[in-house]
Amino acid sequence: MKAVVSIGGSVLVPSVGPERVRAYADAIESLDADGYTLGTVVGGGPTAREYIGAARELGANEIELDQLGIEVTRLNARLLIAALDERAAPTPPEDYETGREAIRRGDIPVLGGTVAGQTTDAVSAAFAEFVNADLLVYATSVDGVYDDDPSENGDATKFAEITAADLVDLIADLEMDAGSNAPVDLLAAKIVQRSGIRTIVLDGDDPERVEHAIRTGDHDGTDVVPEGVSEPPAEWTDR
C-alpha cells in the first residue's frame, strides 16, 4: 500500500524536543519495514506561529509570512529526517517531483511546505494525488471531522464517515466563520474530492494509533470517502 501521512506541526513538534519525533519515526520505520510505500508531510506548528506572529509585528506581508512558515515546516521536516536516518531522503523535497523521485528510489520523502498561499494540508493532498497514493492520513490536533467547530460548540458531533463533497461544503461554511478551526483546509478538501483518494482524519497524538489506522483501517477519527473511491485497500479486507 502507498500512503501519504500528513503530520501536523503541533502534533510532531508541540515543543522542540526528540520524544514525539522519535515515536513517529518508529511508527514510520515499522510500516516501511513491512513493505508500505510512504511519503510524509510535516507542518509548522507553534514554532511557525511564533515566527509568523513576530514577523507580522515587524511589518512582513502575507507572502513573506507564508515563506517564513514554509521554512519552519522544513525545519520540522529535518527533525523527522534526522530520526529516520538513512531511510529518509536527506533533505525535505521542495516540490512534488523531487518527492516522487525519492519514493521511486526507495527513500521516504519528508516534505514541508511548497508554495505560499496554502498550508501543508494542501501539500499532503496534492502529493498524495501526484504519487497515486492509496491512502492519505491527516494526523492532526483535532480527532476527526465535526459538524461544527468543537472548540466553539460543545454539541458538535464527530462524523465516523463523510463524503469528500460534504467535507468541502462543511469546510467552506467553517472558513466563512472567521477564527473557527477547520480540520483540514478547503484546498486540501477539494483536492481529496477530485483525486478520489481514501482519506482519514484522526488524532495524531499517538503515532502508534496512526500506524494502526494505516495497517488496519481501524481508528476513532473520520473516514473521508470521495465519490468513486475504490474498495478499501486489500491489506484491510484480507485480515
Size of residue set near ligand UTP by CB under 6 A: 21
Judged by CB under 6 A, the stretch of 66-74, 155-163, 198-206, 231-239 that binds ligand UTP is 66-74
- Given the complex with ligand UTP, which of 36 and 96 has the nearer CB atom? 96
39 binds ligand UTP (CB under 6 A): no
48 binds ligand UTP (CB under 6 A): yes
Positions in 90-129 near ligand UTP (CB under 6 A): 113-120, 123
One residue of 3, 5, 10, 133 binding ligand UTP per CB under 6 A: 10
What string of DSSP letters covers the chain?
Answer: -EEEEEE-HHHH-SSS-SHHHHHHHHHHHHHHHTT-EEEEEE--HHHHHHHHHHHHHTT--HHHHHHHHHHHHHHHHHHHHHHHGGGB-SS--SSHHHHHHHHHHT-B-EE---STTS-HHHHHHHHHHHTT-SEEEEEESS-S-BSS-TTT-TT--B-SEEEHHHHHHHHHHHHHSTTPPPSS-HHHHHHHHHHT-EEEEEE-S-HHHHHHHHHHS--SSEEEE-TTPPSSPHHHHT-
9 binds ligand UTP (CB under 6 A): yes
- Given the complex with ligand UTP, which of 203 and 235 has the nearer CB atom? 203
Give me the residues that bind ligand UTP (CB under 6 A), please. Answer: 8-10, 43-45, 48, 65-66, 69-70, 73, 113-120, 123
